[in-house]
Amino acid sequence: MKTEVTDWGLIPYGEAWDKQEFIFNELIEAKLSGQDYTNHIFFCEHPHVYTLGRHGKANNMLLGDEQLRTIDATLYRTDRGGDITYHGPGQIVCYPIINLEEFGLGLKNYIDILEEAVIRVCDTYGIKAGRVDGATGVWLDINTPKERKICAIGVRSSRYVTMHGLAFNVNTDLRYFGYINPCGFINKGVTSLAQELGKEVPFNEVKQRLEKELLLLLKQQ
């Protein structure tokens, strides 16, 4: 099985979504016709943007169009799972476009792998992270009043091929989460590696650690 990792750098959300759609459809077509294909893992950052999942509630976006322009942000309604989230500079976004069947994975197992990769990266920085029952993503101080999310996950799958993925807060400006009910929650906080460690974290270092853990977990299947 062939898996390529590509870093798109800072890229507008709409452009990244178009690229994903093209590669996603191409992989599905190759899979169904028995042709050779490559699995892809894309890393990037986005300018300030909010994305609303296909079952998300519009009222979890607390700003109108004019207010969004004031904070230099845009809003997209997407075809991924999950509710609303924020992407912006200092946040690692990862979009695996892979054939889950090739890795022997179902969708739930795949989401577990995305979460586990982030949990392991957090551990390398001395941060204990984990999962919350009934909610995707990676969380800190689980089952306490200080429960907060450090990584959001929302994926789309068709014919066992995936797109969209995870958003891991590294040096993210957390003020932008104050304009939404993140992932639809009104009683849970959001955090970042920088917030937890009290200092900015080397962004590329975190990205490399995440890539390593993700590839390792996929190879173990």
What phi, psi does 181 have (nearest 5°)?
Answer: -95, 95
**Residue in this structure with the two tokens 């590669």, named with its chain if needed:** 23
What phi, psi does 55 have (nearest 5°)?
Answer: -110, 15
* Sign of the torsion angle spanned by Cα atoms 18, 217, 172, 67: positive
Of the CA atoms within 13 Å of residue 221, those in its CB half-sphere come to 18
Q: Which residues contact 181 (CB under 8 A, 6 or more apart)?
A: 60, 62, 83, 84
166 touches 173 (CB < 8 A):
no
Annotated catalytic residues are 183
